[in-house]
Structure 1
Amino acid sequence: MSYTDRFQLFSFTGKMKVLHLSWVAFFITFIVWFNHAPLLMAIADSLNISISEIKTLLIINVALTIPARIIIGMLTDRYGPRLVYSSLLVLCSLPCFAFAIADSFTQAAIARFFLGFIGAGFVIGIRLISEWFPHNELGIAEGVYGGWGNFGSAAAALTLPTLALLFGGEDGWRYAVGLTGLLSLGFGIIFYQQVTDTPKGSTYFKPKHLGAIEVTSKGDLFLLMLMKLPLYGALILLVWKLSPEAANILSVALSMSLYVCLAVLCFIDCYKAWQVNKTIFSKPVPKLHQYKFKQVTILNILYFATFGSELAVISMLPLFFAETFQLNPVTAGLLASAYAFMNVMSRPGGGWLSDRFGRKPVLLILTAGLAIGYFVMGMVDSEWPLWLAVVAAMTCSFFVQSGEGAVFAVVPLIKRRLTGQIAGMTGAYGNIGAVTYLTILSFVDYSNFFMVIAGTALVGFIILLWMDEPAGQIAEINEDGTVELINVA
Structure 2
Amino acid sequence: MSSSSTNRINLFSFSGKMRTLHLTWIAFFISFLVWFNHAPLLSHIRDSFGLSKQEIATLLILNVALTIPARIIIGMTVDRFGPRMVYSLLLAVSALICFVFASSTSFEMLAISRFLLGFVGAGFVIGIRLIGEWFPAKQVGVAEGIYGGWGNFGSAAAAMSLPSITLLFGGEDGWRYATALTGVIALGYSVIFFRLARDTPEGATYFKPNKSGAMEVSSRGDMVLYAIMKLPLFLTIALLAWKLGPNNIDILSDMTADLIYLGLVVLYFYQLYHIVSVNRSILREPAPEFQRYKFKQIAVLNLAYLVTFGSELAVVSMLPLFFMDTFSLSGVEAGILASAYAFMNLVSRPGGGLMSDRYGRKKTLMIFIGFLAIGYFGMSQITADWWLPAAVLMAMGCSFFVQAGEGAVFAVVPLVKRRMTGQVAGMVGAYGNVGAVCFLTVLSFVSPKIFFLVICASAIFTWIAIAVFMEEPEGEMAEILPDGTVELITVK
TM above 0.5, yes or no, is yes
What is the CA-CA distance between 1:244 and the residue it aligns to?
A: 1.5
Aligned residue among 277, 280, 288 for 1:278: 280
What is the CA-CA distance between 1:479 and the residue it aligns to?
A: 0.6
What is the CA-CA distance between 1:317 and the residue it aligns to?
A: 3.6
What is the CA-CA distance between 1:98 and the residue it aligns to?
A: 2.5
Aligned residue among 445, 449, 452 for 1:450: 452
Aligned residue among 105, 115, 129 for 1:127: 129
Indicate the residue corresponding to 1:203 in structure 2.
Answer: 205
Matches of 2:167 and 2:331, distance apart in 1: 20
Matches of 1:52 and 1:451, distance apart in 2: 21
Q: 1:139 to 1:195 in 2, by over 3 A?
A: same
Q: 1:390 to 1:174 in 2, by over 3 A?
A: closer
Q: 1:138 to 1:283 in 2, by over 3 A?
A: same
Matches of 1:9 and 1:63, distance apart in 2: 34
Decide which moves more: 75-84 or 456-465.
Answer: 456-465
Give the 3-state SS of the residue equivalent to 1:291 in structure 2.
coil
Indicate the residue corresponding to 1:225 in structure 2.
Answer: 227
Decide which moves more: 357-366 or 50-59.
Answer: 50-59
Indicate the residue corresponding to 2:466 in structure 1.
Answer: 464
TM-score (norm 2): 0.93
Q: 1:318 to 1:163 in 2, by over 3 A?
A: closer
Give the 3-state SS of the residue equivalent to 1:214 in structure 2.
coil
Matches of 1:59 and 1:448, distance apart in 2: 18
What is the CA-CA distance between 1:83 and the residue it aligns to?
A: 0.9
Say whether the 8 Å CA contact 1:4–1:134 is kept in structure 2. Answer: no
Q: 1:184 to 1:446 in 2, by over 3 A?
A: closer
Matches of 1:229 and 1:74, distance apart in 2: 18
Matches within 5 A, 1:327-338: 331-338=333-340
Matches within 5 A, 1:72-471: 72-318=74-320, 320-321=322-323, 331-381=333-383, 385-465=387-467, 466-471=469-474
Matches of 1:331 and 1:185, distance apart in 2: 29
Structure 2: runs of 5+ lacking an equivalent:
none
User: What root-mean-square deviation, in Å, do the aligned CA atoms of Structure 1 and Structure 2 show?
Assistant: 2.4
Give the 3-state SS of the residue equivalent to 2:8 in structure 1.
coil
Give the 3-state SS of the residue equivalent to 1:92 in structure 2.
helix
Give the 3-state SS of the residue equivalent to 1:474 in structure 2.
strand
Say whether the 8 Å CA contact 1:241–1:247 is kept in structure 2. Answer: yes
Question: Cα deviation per residue 1:103-122 (whole Å; 9 max; x = unaligned)?
Answer: 33333333222221111000
Matches of 1:260 and 1:125, distance apart in 2: 34
What is the CA-CA distance between 1:225 and the residue it aligns to?
A: 0.4
Give the 3-state SS of the residue equivalent to 2:37 in structure 1.
coil
Matches of 1:455 and 1:291, distance apart in 2: 30
Matches of 2:273 and 2:108, distance apart in 1: 35
Matches of 1:165 and 1:383, distance apart in 2: 30
What is the CA-CA distance between 1:4 and the residue it aligns to?
A: 4.0
What is the CA-CA distance between 1:375 and the residue it aligns to?
A: 2.9
Decide which moves more: 103-112 or 350-359.
Answer: 103-112
Give the 3-state SS of the residue equivalent to 1:151 in structure 2.
helix
Q: 1:172 to 1:268 in 2, by over 3 A?
A: same
Give the 3-state SS of the residue equivalent to 2:243 in structure 1.
helix
Aligned-partner residue type, residue 287 of structure 2 = V
Matches within 5 A, 1:8-47: 8-43=10-45
Matches of 1:358 and 1:29, distance apart in 2: 30
Matches of 1:379 and 1:176, distance apart in 2: 34
Alignment length (residue pairs): 489
Say whether the 8 Å CA contact 1:163–1:176 is kept in structure 2. Answer: yes
